[in-house]
Amino acid sequence: MISEFRLPDLGEGLTEAEVVQWLVQPGDTVTLNQTLAEVETAKAVVELPSPYAGTVASLHAGAGETVAVGAPLIAFDVDGEDSPSGDDLAAAAGAASAADDRADGEVKADAGEKAQPNLVGYGAAPSSGARPARRARRSVAAATIDVTTEAAVNAAAPHDALPPAAAEPIVGERPRSTPPVRAHAKRRGVDLVLVAAEVGDRVITRADVDAYADRIGAAPAAPAPDEAPAPASVPQPRGERAQTRTPIKGVRKHTAQAMVRSAFTAPHVTTFHTVDVTATMELIEQLRADRSLTEHRIGPLVVVARAVCLALGRNPSLNATWDEDAGEIVENHFVDLGIAAATERGLIVPIIRDAERLSLTGMADALGELTQTARSGKTSPAELAGGTFSITNIGVFGIDAGTPILPPGQSGILAVGAVRRQPWEYKGEIALRQLMTLSVSFDHRLVDGAEGARFLKDVADLLEQPGRAMLF
């Protein structure tokens, strides 16, 4: 019996997704929950599991094509008695969508139930109540690959970035790369594990693959099955100016729509303040020298994030939401802290849930995990949803200040500038001190200028005198 699988709602009301690459072809035999393809939404790259066990009959879209939610994606030749019906899948999808309160997105199943389809974005549905195990990653002769971490994924807009991370050994993990790069490496016959051993612990790019392939004398890349041969370049007439046109889609399209909506909905106000963070930087050096804290990467962004959570407790209007439909101001008594990250796919803002509950070391661990996930391109839609206040680290680019745009629905965002050693008045004399400029943008419908200034001053006081945190 031929059964069609239609593209499900991947969460957050997304209406379409682009097929990045197919991992199966017509005629292949697949098992339940086997990964069929990688699709890219406006927020994340998602692995699409099979809702059937059977044989792939046909693919309804090629790599690079955009498919609307509900449109046919792939057809299977399956046993009608053992495969879930379309109604079963729809009911399961509805149940999964209602499970937003589970942070890891699991779809639970009672012990003894038969295996159910693994719905996209909600994790596996095991036959027991246990959390599903992560997919095993391939290793190189079970060896440990020590790689040096370079800068975090910070190649896009200079106002949204994560800080660099320290070196960390990775045991048998799949190299970090995007789906198109993995497909390109496969066409060139290059093992990404070997490339990772040379480039270090960062996202492998197409250029890295080509450089390695050229060095070992690999054959040129063959065109992908779904790609037409590239047309030969045509010389431009003298005096004519060349252009490159790139389709507006994926994260870039979503970001543009969100920023325009925010800029023309919320009246933005930005306030700046330069802070003497010498005491904070000295504290960080002391914590880094403490052997008991070597597993926790405590840097300036970690301390700023902790200070922001403390300051929001004293200035709740910057942690509120304007509900236009209900005609209400919603004041949040928790902090879901967004950390803006510029990745190869574009701008994303993953969330640290209940950040106000975290200690300094807990915040360091949460930021480290967030960085690793964003760098590997595995941030899920659930990890990008919501957020009550955001931080963007422009200091990693050597930038001092900026006017960040609010993420839609939030009333405040703080830009953290670079730490610079400059002359500064200190105890009645001129001394070289370590300075940082903070820039906070806020929604003037919710936050008056005085409230925005008090919040910024509270953050600054905590950075100038870290011991003040004991008073909050």
Which residue ranges make up each domain of the chain?
A: 2-97, 144-153+165-216, 250-471
Please say whether the beta carbons of 230 and 373 come within 8 A.
Answer: no
What pLDDT score was predicted for residue 374? 84
Q: CA-based Rg of the chain, rounded to a whole angstrom?
A: 25
| pLDDT for residue 359 is more than 90 | yes
Label residue 233 left, alpha or beta by phi (over 0 means left) and psi (-120 to 50 means alpha). beta
Tell me the per-residue pLDDT of 16-55, one tens digit each, with 9 for 90 and over: 888 888 999 998 999 988 889 988 876 677 888 888 888 9
**In the chain, what's the furthest Cα-to-Cα distance?**
85
- When pLDDT is averaged across residues 246-271 and rounded to a whole number, the result is 80
| Domain 250-471, CATH | 3.30.559.10
What pLDDT score was predicted for residue 363? 95
| pLDDT for residue 134 is more than 50 | no
- When pLDDT is averaged across residues 74-93 and rounded to a whole number, the result is 58
What pLDDT score was predicted for residue 83? 45
What pLDDT score was predicted for residue 13? 61
Tokens 């390695």 -> residue: 212
Tell me the per-residue pLDDT of 206-248, one tens digit each, with 9 for 90 and over: 888 888 888 877 666 555 444 444 444 455 555 567 888 878 7
What pLDDT score was predicted for residue 222? 55
Please say whether the beta carbons of 97 and 105 come within 8 A.
Answer: no
- When pLDDT is averaged across residues 160-167 and rounded to a whole number, the result is 44
Tell me the per-residue pLDDT of 275-309, one tens digit each, with 9 for 90 and over: 999 999 999 999 999 999 989 999 999 999 999 99
| pLDDT for residue 445 is more than 70 | yes
Tell me the per-residue pLDDT of 360-414, one tens digit each, with 9 for 90 and over: 999 999 999 998 888 777 888 788 888 999 999 999 999 999 999 999 889 999 9
Please say whether the beta carbons of 43 and 251 come within 8 A.
Answer: yes
- When pLDDT is averaged across residues 53-73 and rounded to a whole number, the result is 89
**Overall CATH class of domain 2-97:** mainly beta
Residue 81 C-alpha from the chain's centroid: 40
What pLDDT score was predicted for residue 41? 76
- Cα distance between residue 377 and residue 331, in whole Å: 32
- When pLDDT is averaged across residues 332-337 and rounded to a whole number, the result is 96
- Cα distance between residue 413 and residue 319, in whole Å: 10
| pLDDT for residue 99 is more than 70 | no
Active site residues: 444
